[in-house]
Amino acid sequence: MNWNAQLYDGKHRFVSEFGQDVIKLLAPVAGEKILDVGCGTGDLAASLFSQGVQAAGVDQSPSMIQEAKQKYPDVSFLVRDAHDLQYEEEFDAVFSNAAIHWMKQPGRVLTSIWKSLKPGGRLVAEFGGKGNVRAISRTIIHQIDDYDSKMFPWFFPSVGEYTCMMEQAGFRTAFAEHFHRPTRLEGADGMHNWITMFGDVVMGAQTPEEKKRIITGAVNELKEEYFFTDYWIADYWRIRVVGIKE
Ligand code: BEZ
């Protein structure tokens, strides 16, 4: 994925703002070694660092990591694929916010996280769950002739599916929840910005002109139900989990 780190920071800051709730669930202790998987432009790893944590962040996007390093030169950031983190029993906790749904082989990701943790270490994560952005993705797909469902880019499991995978990877599920979080996209162009930033992958190899048409069509379709004078609502559903490495 070729991410636009400036558009991410400029218009989608709510991603790391919501992440503060997940940090509360993580309950970091100063001195702990914690890895942020899918750290984006580094805000949450930096927030952990400011609380005295030995924080590190990894992301598979070079542009996100470049931006993270520029913003927070004191924190360690690396380009790494979460399917193969290459750490052995290094971290007290692995944390992840709004990233796991992008990862194609969730079982491999869980095994790789499990290996990275010290015995007794914890995984604390939030990501899109079953039903997440259903209206938005259906509307984009509706604009595309002969959409191949194999191209659907995200993994939005139910809590049952995901906790089963956690247990197969060797975690004890200490906490799991699946909840609706309608999410505000600010401004009259909020949905247009969201689809430009995140929906591009749903559109696959369409030409730039086709993509423009699809975005305009999708925004018009969504308007009646999801636009409110000067903001939009995105139909987010979240999964939150805590797993303990046994
Ligand atoms: C999410 O955080 O739920 C999400 C973000 C971008 C694309 C799909 C889902």
Q: Does the residue 139 lie in any domain?
A: no
| Tokens, residue 207 | 């030409």
| Tokens, residue 208 | 């730039």
Q: Does the residue 211 lie in any domain?
A: no
Q: How many residues belong to the chain?
A: 246
- Could you identify the residue written with the tokens 């790789």? 112
- pLDDT for position 7: 64
Mean pLDDT of the 31-53 span: 97
Backbone angles phi, psi at 124, to 5 degrees: -125, 120
The pLDDT of residue 225 is above 90 = yes
Q: Does the residue 84 lie in any domain?
A: yes
Rounded to a whole number, what is the distance in angstroms from the first to the last CA of the chain?
A: 34
Is 132's C-beta closer than 6 angstroms to any atom of ligand 1? yes
Strands (E), the chain: 33-37, 54-59, 76-79, 91-97, 117-128, 171-186, 227-228, 231-245
Q: Does the residue 221 lie in any domain?
A: no
Q: Does the residue 229 lie in any domain?
A: no
Q: Which domain holds residue 107?
A: 5-133+153-183+234-245
Instruction: Tell me the pLDDT tens digit for each residue of 71-115.
Output: 999 999 999 999 999 999 999 999 999 999 999 899 999 999 999
- pLDDT for position 150: 83
Is 14's C-beta closer than 6 angstroms to any atom of ligand 1? no
Q: What's the 102 CA to ligand 1 centre distance in angstroms?
A: 8
The pick from 3, 184, 236, 239 for probing ligand 1's pocket by mutation, whose C-beta has the most ligand atoms within 8 angstroms, reads 236
The pLDDT of residue 212 is above 90 = yes
- pLDDT for position 196: 92
Domains: count for the chain: 1
- pLDDT for position 10: 65
Q: Does the residue 70 lie in any domain?
A: yes
Q: Does the residue 179 lie in any domain?
A: yes
Rounded Cα distance between 132 and 236, Å, is 5
Instruction: Tell me the pLDDT tens digit for each residue of 105-127.
Output: 999 999 999 999 999 999 999 99
Q: Whose CA is nearest to atom 3 of ligand 1?
A: 128
- pLDDT for position 166: 98
Q: How far is CA 32 from its chain centroid?
A: 23
Mean pLDDT of the chain: 94
Judged on CB neighbours under 10 Å (0-12, 13-18, 19+), 128 is buried
Is 194's C-beta closer than 6 angstroms to any atom of ligand 1? no
Q: Does residue 135 or residue 15 have the better pLDDT?
A: 135
Q: Which residues pair with 128 in a beta bridge?
A: 238
Q: Does the residue 201 lie in any domain?
A: no
The pLDDT of residue 8 is above 70 = no
Q: What is the CATH number of the domain that holds 42?
A: 3.40.50.150
Provide the sign of the torsion angle of the four alpha carbons 125, 17, 44, 6, taken in this order.
Answer: positive
- pLDDT for position 204: 84
Contact 92, 34 (CB under 8 A): yes
The pLDDT of residue 5 is above 80 = no
- pLDDT for position 117: 98
